[in-house]
Amino acid sequence: MGPRAADIDARSGRGDDGTGRQVAIMDAPLSRSAPLLSIDRAFLARSGEVYRIRPIRRSDEAALRDMFRRCSAEDLRLRCFGISKTFPEVFANRLAGLTGGTEFAIAAVAPSGEIGGVVHAVGLPGAAGDADYDIMVRTDLKGQGIGARLMRDMLSEAVRSGFTAVHGDVMMANRAMLLLAGDLGFRRIGMEGGVVRIAAHPSADPSAPRGLADA
């Protein structure tokens, strides 16, 4: 059974995966100044559609909700580690309401205003310089390069925001995410209950290797 609404952590958009493993990131006092996102670029997807890659805005809430609602149950399970009927509302509201701090979100926005995908990074409490990421591409738009573009831009913005390590939790069955993360220099640093913990050390120097050497 998936998490109930009350079990969903609005910060990470995850809850108990049904095995008792809680993946929530707890709130804690944070001292870092607000990231100033500089990203704003056009991106040509394999479909020929041109997306604008830019920070999420307050006015994006409805488009985010729509994007999450158009994702398959399986993709939502891969993202949330369980079934969450409230995820589209809770997380769209959460992302659209970000005001900086140690958190940012970047979207791929179609000319129509529809959102094709969103990546989110949040600083880890008590671990200065460390962030966790999560990403979701609309199910019918997968395989067009949107996920790779968003991940690359998230890593660049993480460096600009002062993060030195970016972590992620990925279900072992999530081949697409594990392959994409591997291409971007992420390495596996742990595993628990069918979820792989991955990490990358993004660098301001684009020629430097980004991944951790080993677990």
Ligand X SMILES: CC(C)(COP(=O)(O)OP(=O)(O)OC[C@H]1O[C@@H](n2cnc3c(N)ncnc32)[C@H](O)[C@@H]1OP(=O)(O)O)[C@@H](O)C(=O)NCCC(=O)NCCS
The binding site for ligand X (CB under 6 A) comprises: 75, 78-79, 134-137, 142-148, 170, 174-177, 179-180, 183
| Cβ 55 to ligand X shortest distance, Å | 18
Cross-strand partners of 62: none
Identify whether the C-beta of residue 146 lies closer than 8 Å to the C-beta of residue 136. no
Nearer Cβ to ligand X (138/201): 138
CA-wise closest residue to 123 among 89, 157, 153 = 157
Q: Which residues of 18-47 are buried (b: 16+ CB within 10 A; e: fewer)?
A: eeeeebbbeeeeeeeeebebebeeebebee
Question: CB-based contacts of 207: which residues, under 8 Å, 6+ apart?
Answer: none
Identify whether the C-beta of residue 177 lies closer than 8 Å to the C-beta of residue 143. no
Residue number with the shortest CB distance to ligand X? 147
Nearer Cβ to ligand X (142/160): 142
| Cβ 127 to ligand X shortest distance, Å | 19
Interatomic CA distance for residues 108 and 33, integer angstroms = 25
Nearer Cβ to ligand X (166/205): 166
| Cβ 14 to ligand X shortest distance, Å | 9
Interatomic CA distance for residues 150 and 121, integer angstroms = 11
Nearer Cβ to ligand X (109/136): 136
Nearer Cβ to ligand X (98/136): 136
Instruction: Mark out the alpha helices in the chain (DSSP H runs).
Output: 61-69, 73-80, 87-96, 146-160, 175-183
Nearer Cβ to ligand X (130/204): 130
How does DSSP classify residue 5? G
Cross-strand partners of 191: 196
